[in-house]
Amino acid sequence: ALVNVIKHAGATHTSVTITVHEGQVFVEIIDNGHGFEDVQRRSGVANLEHRALSRGGVFALESNSDGTRVLWQVPYATVDA
């Protein structure tokens, strides 16, 4: 997602927030770039979506002329050594 911001967004500000809460890992990336209208054509982030869904998680993408927000959320489990 950060590579897409650098290559395509024209953003001057990007924030990355990583939160772990109640067995879930949340990664949110927000930029103030120019966004894109066709959120259905998102080949650059299709792998992010696939990875989240294949792990029982969630992938969300919102984009408009004020910027883009990506949310990637997956469950995690601790492993006893």
Cα-Cα end-to-end distance for the chain: 32
CA distance 54 to 41: 20
Q: Which pLDDT does position 74 carry in this prediction?
A: 96
- What's this model's pTM, rounded to 2 decimal places? 0.82
Tens digit of each residue's pLDDT (9 = 90 or more) over 4-49: 888 888 899 999 999 999 999 999 999 999 987 765 556 667 888 9
Cα of 21 vs its chain's centroid, Å: 17
CA-nearest of 74, 24, 19 to 50 is 74
Q: Which pLDDT does position 17 carry in this prediction?
A: 98
Q: Which amino acid is at 10?
A: G
